[in-house]
Structure 1
Amino acid sequence: MTRDALAVRHVHFEDLGLLAPLLEARGYRTSYLDAPVEPVTPEALLGPDLLVVLGGPVGVYDDEAYPFLREEKAAIQARLDAGLPTLGVCLGAQLVAAALGADVEATGRTEIGYAPLSLTAEGRGSVLAALDGVPVLHWHGDQFAVPEGATLLAETPGFPHQAFALGPQVLGLQFHLEADHTRIEQWLVGHAHELASAGIDPGRIRADAAAHGPKLAAATARVFEQWLDGIDPPTRTPRVP
Structure 2
Amino acid sequence: MFQLKQSGGIWLGAFSLFPEEGLVHGISTRFGGVSKAPFASLNMALHTGDSPSDVWENRRLFAEVLQVDAERIVTPRQVHGDEIHIVQAADAGMGAKRFDESVFACDALLTQEPDIPLMLCFADCVPLLFFDPVQRVAAVAHAGWKGTAARIGQKTVLRMQEVFHSRPQDVLAGIGPAIGACCFAVGEEVTQIFRAAFPENPQILSRSSEGNATVDLWAANRLQLEEAGLLPEHIDSADVCTMCSAERFYSYRKAQGNTGRFAAWIALRRDVN
Q: Looking at both structures, which has the greater relative contact order when contacts are Cα pairs under 8 Å and sequence separation is at least 6?
A: 2
Determine if the TM-score, normalized by the shorter chain, exceeds 0.5. Answer: no
Q: Which has the larger radius of gyration?
A: 2
- More helix as a share of residues: 1
Q: What TM-score results when the alignment is normalised by the length of structure 1?
A: 0.33
